Amino acid sequence: MGEVEEKLKDYEIKREGEAEILMLKSNAVFFNPVQVHNRDMSIAVLRTFVAKRKEEHEALMDKRNKSRQKAKQSETSVPNGDDASGSQHDEIDAHEKELNQAVDGIDDSSKEVPKTPSWKVTRELKPPIVLEALAASGLRSLRYAREVDGLGKVVATDNDKASVEACKRNIKFNGASAISKVEAHLADARVYMITHPKEFDVVDLDPYGSPSIFLDSAVQAVADGGLLMCTATDMAVLCGTNGEVCYSKYGSYPVKGKYCHEMALRILLASIESHANRYKRYIVPVLSVFMDFYVRVFVRVFTSANEIKNTPLKLSYVYQCVGCDSFHLQCLGRTVTKVKNHPIKEQPRDSPGTMILSKEPTLEANFSRAVAVAALSKAQVKKVKRFLPNPERHWGPKVRAGRKITSKHVSLLGPEAINGVVNGASSHGDGNGAAPDESALEHEEMKDDDENEPTTKRQKISDDEPASEP
C-alpha cells in the first residue's frame, strides 16, 4: 500500500462520469474541466446514434429479405400445369441426388445441421468504431468506452508524446474494460485520418481553437452514414470580430448582429459541407449547439454524387441593415422544374378514343419491298440520267475569234471538220489539192500566233549591245 501511495504522490485523481484519470500536479497534459457538459452531450448523442444505426440496419435487412423472397417465389411459380408437373419431377430428382450425395459424404445423417437459405443470411452489423483525433489525457475516449454500450473500439490519437503516455497510463488505470476497447497512438490526426478513409463510424474533433485544418481529412475518415462531432472555440472569428480571418479559415464572411452565434454555427456547417462535397459527400445536421465559449455540431456524412447538386440550395447571402437589426436572406440557388407533370385522366369506356384503342389492329405493314428499294433514290428507280446529253457531238468550248483552225482543235471540232478546213485551205493554195503535212500546219500556226500576240519578255541580246524594250 505504501508503494502505491509513493507512486501516486505526484498525481491527482480526476473522476468524471464512470472514468478516472491520473493528472500530474504540474498539469503537463491539457485538461479542461469546463467542457464536462460537452462530453456529457456527446455521450448522449453517441448512444442515440448507436441505437439509430441498429434500427436502420435491421430495416435494410428486412427490405432485402422481402425482395429476395419475392424473387424466389416468382422463380418457383409456373403458370401451366404441364410445366408445373415437369418442374415437380425435376425438383424430386434434384432432391434425390442431394440425399444420395449427403448419404455418401456423411456416415451419420443424424448429425446433419440444416443449412440456412442464402436469402435468409443477413450481414451482421459490426460494432461502431470511434476515433478521437485530439485525445490529450484520453478522458473522452475512456468515457465513451465505459458509458456507451455497443461500441467496438475507441482509437485515441495525439501528436504530443507526453499526452500519449498519459493516455496509456489512464487506460491501464481504468481496468480491463478500458484496456479491451481503447487504443492510444502517437500520430498526427490529419495524416492518421487520411490514411484510414471511411474506416471510423464516429469521428470526434475537439481542438483548442479552430477545427478548419482537420475538416478535410475528417470527412474522408468517416464511414458512409457515420457521425462527425466537431467543436470550434474561436468565437471571436466566427462572430464577426475578425471577418477576414473567418473568410480565410471557413470560406465565409460574417456580419455583426444579434444572431452572431447562430451564424457561427451555420458558418461551421457550411465549411464542413464544402469539404465533404469535394469527395462526393454531403452532411445532414443532427444537433447544433452554442454553449459557454464554443459551438458544437453533430452531423452525419453520406455519399451521393447526385445529392451534392442541392448544396447551393442550403446556402444564402445575408443582407444586414446598418441602421437597425433587420436582415434579408438571398438563397444562392433554386430549383426550376422545366417539365410539368400532366397526369393522364381516365377516359370513359364508351368514348371514341377508348373504343378505337381497344380494338386489335388488322393491317400489317410489309417492309420487304421497302428494304430492297430503300437504298435507291426516286431518280435511280426511274432510271433518269444523272447528266444531260450533249446537244452536239463535239460540244464544248469554241475556238477563239481570229485563230486559225489546226489539228490541235480535233478534240473540239472533230477530225472531219479539221480535215475539211485543212483541205479547203490547201485547195486555195495550189490547184493540185494536196493536203499539207500536219506538222507543217502546226509549225505555221505557232509562228502566226507568235507574230500576232505581243510578248512582254525581254529579247536575249549579246553582252556588247545595250538592252532595249520590245
pLDDT in tens, 373-383: 566 778 888 88
> Do 27 and 140 lie in a common domain?
yes
Q: Is residue 37 part of a domain?
A: yes
- Average pLDDT score over residue span 104-128: 55
Q: Is the pLDDT of residue 407 over 90?
A: no
- Average pLDDT score over residue span 25-49: 87
pLDDT of 97 reads 55
Distance CA 167, CA 178 (A): 11
Decide: 300 and 286 in contact? Cβ < 8 Å: yes
Q: Is the pLDDT of residue 161 over 70?
A: yes
pLDDT tens digit sequence for 194-226: 999 999 999 999 998 899 999 999 999 999 999
Distance CA 32, CA 208 (A): 10
Q: Residue 132, SS3?
A: strand
Distance CA 408, CA 405 (A): 8
> Do 291 and 409 lie in a common domain?
no
Decide: 14 and 23 in contact? Cβ < 8 Å: yes
pLDDT tens digit sequence for 236-280: 999 988 899 999 999 999 998 889 999 999 999 999 999 999 999
- Determine which of 8-17, 82-91, 349-358, 424-433 has the lowest per-residue pLDDT on average: 82-91
Distance CA 102, CA 440 (A): 113
pLDDT of 315 reads 93
- The upper half-sphere exposure of residue 28, i.e. CA atoms within 13 Å in the direction of its Cβ, equals 13
* Confidence band for 120, pLDDT divided at 50, 70 and 90: very low
Q: CATH number of the domain that 192 lies in?
A: 3.40.50.150
Domain boundary among the residues 388, 407, 426 is at: 426
Which of 155 and 463 is assigned the larger pLDDT? 155
* Confidence band for 119, pLDDT divided at 50, 70 and 90: very low
- Average pLDDT score over residue span 395-410: 71
Joined grid coordinates for residue 328? 434579408
Amino acid at 275: H
Q: Which residues have a Cβ under 8 Å from the Cβ of 121 and sit 6 or more positions away?
A: none
pLDDT of 237 reads 93
Distance CA 181, CA 142 (A): 9
Quote helix, strand, coil % in the chain, to nearest 5.
45, 15, 40
Distance CA 126, CA 370 (A): 65
Q: Is residue 90 part of a domain?
A: no
Query: Quick one: what percent of the chain has pLDDT higher than 90?
Result: 41
> Do 32 and 168 lie in a common domain?
yes
Domain boundary among the residues 312, 331, 350 is at: 331
> Do 278 and 412 lie in a common domain?
no
Distance CA 470, CA 454 (A): 9
Looking up cell 456580419 gives 255
- Determine which of 92-101, 144-153, 234-243, 429-438 has the lowest per-residue pLDDT on average: 429-438
Looking up cell 407533370 gives 341
DSSP 338: -
pLDDT of 35 reads 86
> Do 286 and 418 lie in a common domain?
no
> Do 157 and 37 lie in a common domain?
yes
Which of 5 and 231 is assigned the larger pLDDT? 231
Amino acid at 21: I
Q: Is residue 34 part of a domain?
A: yes
b/e map 19-50, b = 16+ CB within 10 Å: bbbbbeeeeebeeeeebeebbebbbebbbebb
Q: Is residue 117 part of a domain?
A: no
Distance CA 334, CA 314 (A): 9
pLDDT of 265 reads 95
> Do 160 and 269 lie in a common domain?
yes
Residue 400 domain boundaries: 396-426
Domain boundary among the residues 304, 331, 358 is at: 331
Provide the pairing of β-strand 281-291 with 294-303: antiparallel
Distance CA 81, CA 424 (A): 105
Packing angle between helix 212-221 and helix 260-277, nearest 10 degrees?
A: 50
Q: Is residue 186 part of a domain?
A: yes
Q: Is residue 318 part of a domain?
A: yes
For the chain, give the mean pLDDT.
79
pLDDT tens digit sequence for 324-354: 889 999 999 888 776 666 667 778 888 888 8
Decide: 128 and 224 in contact? Cβ < 8 Å: no
Distance CA 133, CA 155 (A): 8
pLDDT of 201 reads 95
Which of 133 and 385 is assigned the larger pLDDT? 133
Q: Is residue 326 part of a domain?
A: yes
Q: Is the pLDDT of residue 114 over 50?
A: no
Tell how far CA 341 is from the center of its chain.
Answer: 28
Distance CA 37, CA 418 (A): 119
> Do 290 and 401 lie in a common domain?
no
> Do 140 and 235 lie in a common domain?
yes
Nearest 5 degrees, angle CA 348-CA 349-CA 355? Answer: 125
Which of 414 and 227 is assigned the larger pLDDT? 227
pLDDT of 103 reads 43
Q: How many CB atoms lie within 10 A of CB 14?
A: 15
DSSP 175: -
* Confidence band for 7, pLDDT divided at 50, 70 and 90: low
Using CB atoms within 10 Å of the CB of residue 133, give its burial: 0 to 12 exposed, 13 to 18 middle, 19+ buried. buried
> Do 181 and 254 lie in a common domain?
yes
> Do 225 and 305 lie in a common domain?
yes
Identify the top-confidence range among 117-126, 165-174, 364-373, 440-449: 165-174
pLDDT tens digit sequence for 288-322: 999 989 999 999 999 999 999 999 999 999 999 98
Q: Is residue 148 part of a domain?
A: yes
Q: How many domains is the chain partitioned into structurally?
A: 2
pLDDT of 257 reads 86
> Do 17 and 156 lie in a common domain?
yes
- Average pLDDT score over residue span 69-96: 59
Strands (E), 115-257: 129-132, 153-158, 182-186, 200-205, 222-232
Q: What's the per-residue H, E or C state across 58-96?
A: HHHHHHHHHHHHHHHHHHHCCCCHHHHHHHHHHHHHHHH
Decide: 282 and 302 in contact? Cβ < 8 Å: yes
Nearest 5 degrees, angle CA 259-CA 260-CA 264? Answer: 120
Amino acid at 92: I
pLDDT of 282 reads 96
